[in-house]
Amino acid sequence: MVAIAAGIAQLIAVSTRAIRAAREQTTAVVLAAAKIDQLRSLAWTYEPSAPGVAAVPRSDRTTDVSDPGLSPGGAGLQSSSPASLVTNTTNYVDFLDGAGRWVGRDSDPPAGAVYVRRWSVRPLPDAPDRTLVLQVLVTTIRDDRSRPAPWSRRTGVEALLVSVRTRAGQ
């Protein structure tokens, strides 16, 4: 009976860890998708023009996407630094609690933060004036701190989503 009880206890511990990891993974994917949707909703188009007149590009370069209220004074769709997915970069990072609620956006996680969400906005090298590559990485603070080096590959509970945005209307 003792051996059976010990085996069952071990099975319960393993399944509890698996359930927690699955919940964190699912939450990370949902949080990454929400940020991709925010970025894709920003203006990236051409202003209508008269026939024969070149269309003028219009880009949101002022919305603060790191603020849940999407206030002005941010970077919008301006190019981020190449390191914005691996370091906490102003205007390209925010922190969320275990339920996915926003708790801050500074360079260090505030109390109550469970997830770090970083994003990058980069022009496509072949068409920098027409196409952007948007990337969002979400991981737990715990996993982010336990990594021996900055994020470079999948190691645990994280989500990396990539989207391409092309200017329309020319």
Query: Is-contact 157 138, C-beta < 8 A?
Result: no
The count of other CB atoms within 10 Å of the CB of residue 84 is 22
Query: pLDDT tens digits for 36-92?
Result: 999 999 999 888 777 878 888 889 999 999 999 999 999 999 999 999 998 999 999
At 145, list the tokens.
């701190």
Query: pLDDT tens digits for 9-27?
Result: 888 888 778 777 778 888 9
Structure pTM? 0.85
Partner residues linked to 96 by β-bridges: 102, 115
- How confident is the model at residue 24, as a pLDDT? 84
| Domain membership of residue 19 as a residue range | 2-166
User: In angstroms, how far apart are the furthest CA atoms of the chain?
Assistant: 86
Q: What is the domain count for the chain? A: 1
What average pLDDT does the structure give for the chain? 88
